[in-house]
Amino acid sequence: MPTYKNMLVAIDLTEEAPQVLEKARAMSDAHGANLILVHVVEPVGYAYGGDIPMDLTELQDQLDKAAREQLSVYGEQYGVDKANQIVTVGRPESEIHRLVKEQAVDLVVVGSHGRKGFQLLLGSTANGVLHGSECDVLAVRIR
């Protein structure tokens, strides 16, 4: 079994995040790995398809600030250093793939809702992370 050195746990800051964090913390402790906590804020313009002719910078900044505050709470609760708490803006799959390379990550931990049909096992973000990742991916089943 490979030993992981740098684990990235990507969370969505919902009430389900602790399920993913608990599994990631246990895996990190078992492997003596460095844990990197990540949340990706999607650009506000994505939600509106870029069709709104107004400056959404202030709203984006507020979302970013709120995400940093919540990530800090989780980071403190699960013993993740401030330097390893990352909030970034973009498409979650793309940002996670970028961080995997930048941070020399060898395991990504994401939450997954057991979907049916097209997304049989993974949600769209977990599926996107899995199919473009250069390292192992652990999908934690959300209950």
Statement: the pTM of the whole predicted model exceeds 0.95 = no
- Classify strands 107-112 and 6-10 as parallel, antiparallel or unpaired: parallel
31 Cβ contact partners less than 8 Å away, ≥ 6 residues apart = 3, 4, 5, 7
Instruction: Grade residue 83 by pLDDT with cuts at 50, 70 and 90.
Output: very high
What is d(CA 107, CA 117) in angstroms, rounded to the nearest whole number?
27
Q: Higher-confidence residue: 45 or 122?
A: 45
- Cα–Cα separations (whole angstroms), residue 64 to 41, 88, 114: 7, 8, 28
Q: What is the pLDDT of residue 118?
A: 40
pLDDT over 90 at 68, yes or no: yes
Domains of the chain: 6-141 (3.40.50.620)
Please name every residue paired with 86 in a beta bridge, in sequence order, or none if there are none: 38
What is d(CA 110, CA 117) in angstroms, rounded to the nearest whole number?
20
Q: What is the pLDDT of residue 89?
A: 92
Single-letter code of the amino acid located at 24:
A
Q: Higher-confidence residue: 141 or 105?
A: 105
Joined together, the tokens standing for residue 3 give 């030993």
pLDDT tens digits, 122-131: 457 778 888 8
What is d(CA 89, CA 47) in angstroms, rounded to the nearest whole number?
13
Instruction: Grade residue 121 by pLDDT with cuts at 50, 70 and 90.
Output: very low
